[in-house]
Amino acid sequence: MTAQNGHRPFDVGAIRRDFPILKREVASGARLVYLDNAATSQKPVQVIAEITRYYRDHNANIHRGVHTLSMEASELYDGVREKVRAFINAPRESEVVFTRNTTESINLVAYGWGRKFLAAGDEVVISEIEHHSNIVPWQVLRDERGIVLKYIPMLPDGTLDLEYARQVIGPRTKLLAITAMSNALGTIVPLHELIPLAKAHGAVVLVDGAQSVPHMAVDVQALGADFLAFSSHKMLGPTGVGVLWGRQELLAAMDPFMSGGDMILTVTMESATWNEVPYKFEAGTPNIAGVIAFGAAIDYLQSLGMERVRAHELELVDYGLRRLGDVPGVTIYGPPDAADRGGVISFSVEDVHPHDVGQVLDSHGVAVRAGHHCAQPVMAALNVPATVRASFYIYNTPAEIDVLAGAIEEANRYFGVLSA
């Protein structure tokens, strides 16, 4: 594939050379096939080097010193805020808040906005396919403040019931908190239909972008949402770094999530005033090295082009659906059309527990996730205890999907012998 629009060629072989861990041999000498990207992605040498460079050349606290190292570290850290702004096309750099992860970003909204602006009887609408991180904070708020929590149900094919959504989103809806893509099934949620429904009733919209932002182009201004939460570690960056983007006026009106150093403007023994947005929400020393290295991850993805990242994954999931669909005993969950899902395939193997399947796959070097994927309501709707989830990213190949399919067939043979 040739370079287009200033992007480097999407050469999967070259990309894989940037990820040393993919050369590892695991499980009796098998070459690692990493298909657990929905949990966390691997890190390229460019990101790893940036962490080392910070600690080797610039290690100092930020925003608090006038010496050279502190000034350098502050400039590097603050520069990433602009990279994030550009990556999601946010109007202002000050609307980008650094957190630890998507979970903390959602909790920040629940605590700082929800506790201040939601009252008993106000309705919050979520969906049945949410990650626990976008369910539990609203349940806590329901129990504390008496808000009404409603949800959009999942249809048998893993998509949302949009007709029901039109009924449940109404005049009392104050917040729609919705995922852009299911971590358990890969379902891409039609935000272009749901967000206008909420906005028609004056509701605020929070989008959980943990699974979407790493895999497809996101433009918050075109999206029309009020908040967007996502994580560095799912998009080539370090763990311990998350982002909350929010509209300036909402962030300014919110209360701080935590208090302490760097989020204050003045402190006396009697009172305190808060720093401006976004620093109001960034108490204490942050993950400086992680944020700086996150900038290198954004640079890497930008060099590839997010439209082309999406196109590569679409090819993989299309091939994966067809390849796994040919394996006897495999049931695939979620939308049947690859275009309606991200790079995720959740499945089960007849009469074999997902954890057992996962262990057999590991013996072939294939890393997948087996469990409820922090989405127990989805498992309940499917009437299964768990699924096996294979999830793809920029460095995965069709040949690795073939290894996955062969390992599943081996699991079939192994457990078929045991049950005979």
20 and 161 share one domain = no
Tell me whether residue 310 is in a domain: yes
DSSP string spanning 23-82? G-EETTTEEPEE-BTTT-----HHHHHHHHHIIIII-S-SSS--SHHHHHHHHHHHHHHH
Q: How many of the other CB atoms lie within 10 Å of CB of 86?
A: 12
56 and 129 share one domain = yes
Tell me whether residue 311 is in a domain: yes
Alpha-carbon torsion (384, 385, 388, 394), positive or negative: positive
263 and 167 share one domain = yes
234 and 355 share one domain = no
Which among 259, 280, 303 is the end of a domain? 303
Closest by CA to 207, choosing from 232, 187, 226, is: 226
Tell me whether residue 3 is in a domain: no
Block means of pLDDT (10 residues each) for the chain, 420 residues, are 55 97 91 98 98 98 93 97 98 98 98 97 98 98 97 98 98 98 98 98 98 98 98 98 98 91 83 88 95 98 97 98 96 97 97 94 96 96 97 98 96 69
User: How many whole angstroms separate alpha carbon 355 and alpha carbon 1?
Assistant: 38
DSSP string spanning 334-392? S-SSGGGB-SEEEEEETTB-HHHHHHHHHHTTEE-EEE-TT-HHHHHHHT-S-EEEEE-
292 and 310 share one domain = no
- Work out whether strand 204-208 and strand 25-26 pair parallel, antiparallel, or are unpaired: unpaired
Pick the catalytic residue: 368, 374, 388, 407? Answer: 374
The residues with which 244 forms a beta bridge, in sequence order, are 97, 229
Q: What is the largest CA-CA distance in the chain?
A: 76
385 and 395 share one domain = yes
pLDDT, residue 212, reads: 98
Tell me whether residue 357 is in a domain: yes
114 and 145 share one domain = yes
Closest by CA to 331, choosing from 158, 183, 180, 215, is: 158
pLDDT, residue 129, reads: 98
CA distances from 16 to 2, 66, 394 (A): 17, 41, 9
Global confidence as pTM: 0.95
As for how many domains the chain has, the answer is 2
The CATH number covering residue 400 comes to 3.90.1150.10
Contact status, residue 115 vs residue 255, Cβ threshold 8 Å:
yes
Which among 241, 268, 303 is the end of a domain? 303
pLDDT, residue 380, reads: 97
pLDDT, residue 240, reads: 98
60 and 23 share one domain = no
Contact status, residue 399 vs residue 12, Cβ threshold 8 Å:
no
251 and 292 share one domain = yes
From the number of C-beta atoms within 10 Å of its C-beta (0-12, 13-18, 19+), residue 290 rates as buried
pLDDT, residue 282, reads: 92
374 is annotated as an active-site residue: yes
Domain residues for 395? 12-39+305-419
pLDDT, residue 2, reads: 41
Tell me whether residue 229 is in a domain: yes
Which among 303, 325, 354 is the end of a domain? 303
pLDDT, residue 8, reads: 62
The CATH number covering residue 243 comes to 3.40.640.10
21 and 90 share one domain = no
67 and 87 share one domain = yes
Q: Cis before residue 278, ω within 30 degrees of 0?
A: yes
The residues with which 274 forms a beta bridge, in sequence order, are 264
pLDDT, residue 7, reads: 62
294 and 342 share one domain = no
